[in-house]
Amino acid sequence: MIYVDGDTMNKDLETICDLIFQMACDVNRTCFYFAAESSIEKIYQQCFAYELNKSKLRYHSEVTIEVMYKSFPLKDLRADFVLHPGGKNKFTKDIIIEVKHSDQTKGNKDKARLQLFGYLHNAPIHSSSMLSGIEYGIVLHWPVADPKATWDGASTDGQLQKPTPKPRMELWKTKTKPTDATKFELLKEWN
């Protein structure tokens, strides 16, 4: 666990994020050995939605975020999940959750972060009032199997990767007011 600048985090925020990470680990343990295919990220998302439902957390999936140019709509983006306060979630603000199933290269991590930052920037100024004050976002990376750990190419034996690697999760907060969200702060990492 990492706390940025030694600050302590809101206990309710940390509690809900710990629960989200535990659910992500549960999903990963089940899905990690599914056959790799182009739609595997969607399968992970569906399993994660199942866990959110089972936990009775309030959320929306595939939330539309408009991208505008001078009040002219250009495109709709889709955030994977927006978690809302209520039920087990005692944190009082909405949290965008962007999920990825990709290797953990710097390029993939940066791309996922940039996507989340785009949501945090555009949602408060261009989307529904539901997202007008959004300041928090999570990037959740489920790991992919390492082909070298499965088969080294030199033998006729293969083995599924063990142990199952854990997902990686980052919690970000806008450092500037939501209507001008251009700077972000990493609050905590889980892995």
Domain extents in the chain: 4-144+161-190
Distance between CA atoms of 100 and 123, rounded to whole angstroms? 20
Residue 158 in this model has a pLDDT that exceeds 80:
no
Residue 184 in this model has a pLDDT that exceeds 50:
yes
Distance between CA atoms of 133 and 135, rounded to whole angstroms? 6
Judged by average pLDDT, the poorest of 24-33, 54-63, 119-128, 175-184 is 119-128
Amino acid letter for position 60: H
Amino acid letter for position 63: V
* Number of CB atoms found within 10 A of residue 153's CB: 7
What pLDDT score does 8 carry?
A: 60
Q: Is the dihedral of CA 41, 28, 142, 176 positive or negative?
A: positive
Q: Which of 11-25, 110-124, 163-177 has the highest mean pLDDT?
A: 11-25
Distance between CA atoms of 111 and 11, rounded to whole angstroms? 29
What pLDDT score does 59 carry?
A: 96
How do residues 97-144 score in pLDDT, each as one tens digit?
999 988 777 878 899 999 999 999 888 887 677 788 899 999 999 988
**Interval 24-30 mean pLDDT:** 94
Cβ distance 135 to 174 under 8 Å? Answer: yes
**For residues 38 and 67, which has the higher predicted lDDT (pLDDT)?**
67
Distance between CA atoms of 159 and 162, rounded to whole angstroms? 8
Distance between CA atoms of 181 and 113, rounded to whole angstroms? 14
Residue 152 in this model has a pLDDT that exceeds 60:
no
Cβ distance 156 to 127 under 8 Å? Answer: no
How do residues 41-89 score in pLDDT, each as one tens digit?
999 999 999 999 999 999 999 998 888 788 788 888 899 999 999 988 9
The domain 4-144+161-190 having CATH identifier 1.10.8: the answer here is: no
Residue 1 in this model has a pLDDT that exceeds 60:
no
What pLDDT score does 153 carry?
A: 58
* Number of CB atoms found within 10 A of residue 150's CB: 11
